[in-house]
Amino acid sequence: MSRRVAEAFAEAAAQNRAALIGYLPAGFPNPELSVRLFNAMVASGVDIIEVGLPYTDPLMDGPVIQQAVNQALDAGTHTDVVLDIVRQITEAGATAVIMSYWNPIERFGVERFAAGLEAAGGTGVIAPDLTPEESGDWAVACDAHGIDRIFMVAPSSTPARIDAIVRATSGFVYAASTMGVTGVRTSVSSGAGDLVARTRELTDLPIAVGLGVSTAEQAAEVAAYADGVIVGSAFVRRVLDAPDGEAAVAAVSDLARELAAGVRR
């Protein structure tokens, strides 16, 4: 596990709470404002930033994140821009991991991407469509550059599958609370707690739950059994609904404070 990710989870555990992980696509709604939004999230209580790498075919993402990704792409965001955004926010004190589909990483170059992320101060990568069986070259590159490989478990994962995933994972395990795409939901899946319990039997890594968490109440619910709470679409929606950049910064700051209070209940 990278030092900064380990420290983020350790600090949260020392405070008897879950870590708060917040997602936005890099370059949304434009690269300059994107950096301000990430920094505002950190200043308002987010422990780890999940930086989305915009991609033209985001199969796992719902309409809210797809809209944001399209804005980022229209603003000229590409992989080098994403790495520069990571550099800017880590230099400002953020702990940052990237969320990316595999195709952009492969096209950029596996070794080149891992080296670039290390140079930018990034600590890990969540690649939802990459399986451990297909990650040999990626594992080598990550180990060479101190990058965590963060894989996902899902409610449908069997014990054997969870075991294979956690053996290939470093940093933390991403537990998808439900089957389906990202998006704000009125409640968190009742199976999320069971998934965390089944995963915890097979690993000592921190387990963070994502997909569907959008309110302080939901964050508190998940924080009762998980080591981390991941929030994405709710942050994106706040930015999409804001009339201008200043309002967007204020909106994500307000949500971060609400969620930070939630994981501390």
Contact 261, 215 (CB under 8 A): no
Q: Which residues, given as ranges, of the chain have pLDDT below 50?
A: 179-187
Write the CA distances from 111 to 63, 128, 185, 187, integer angstroms: 32, 19, 37, 40
Tens digits of per-residue pLDDT, 96-131?
A: 999 999 999 999 999 999 999 999 999 999 999 999
Q: Among 32, 47, 50, 148, which one carries the catalytic annotation?
A: 50
The pLDDT, as a whole number, for residue 97 is 98
Look up 143 and say whether it is catalytic.
Answer: no
In the annotation, is 106 catalytic?
no
Of the listed 47, 61, 148, 221, which one is catalytic? 61
Supply the pLDDT for residue 31: 98
What is the model's pLDDT at position 241?
97
Question: What is the reported pTM?
Answer: 0.94
Q: Please tell me the number of Cα atoms within 13 Å of 103 on its side-chain side.
A: 7
Output the six-digit token pair for 186.
């009125």
CATH superfamily, domain at 3-263: Aldolase class I (3.20.20.70)
CA distances from 169 to 57, 80, 193, 219 (A): 25, 25, 20, 24
pLDDT at 242: 98
Q: What is the DSSP string of 48-66?
A: EEEEE---S--TT--HHHH
Contacting residues for 155 by C-beta, under 8 A, at least 6 apart: 176, 177, 178, 179, 189, 191, 192, 194, 195
